[in-house]
Amino acid sequence: AQYTSFYLPILSLAFADPMAALVGKKWGEKKYTFMGHSKTYLGSFASYSFYFQPNLPNLTHPLKQMYKRLQDL
């Protein structure tokens, strides 16, 4: 359980990047250029949602601890 903070982001990226490619190629119509590479808005959204959804508890956990400490003051 203590290593979840390390493994979960790596596994999330392992799934988010291919999902962005699949979604972007299948349904992505509107494109933009980022650092010389063509990207689709829908593929980028899929990547962000696949990455941040499982990692949200890891991102908010330190904030909850800080909030508890502030309440104790």
Q: Which residue ranges in the chain fall short of pLDDT 70?
A: 1-2, 4-5, 54-63
Q: Give 10's contacts (C-beta < 8 A, 6+ positions apart).
A: none
Whole-number pLDDT of residue 38: 86
Which pLDDT belongs to residue 23?
Answer: 86
What's the per-residue H, E or C state across the chain?
A: CCCHHHHHHHHHHHHHHHHHHHHHHHHCCCEEEECCEEEEHHHHHHHHHHHHHHHHHHHHHHHHHHHHHHHHC
Q: In this predicted structure, what is the pLDDT of residue 50?
A: 79
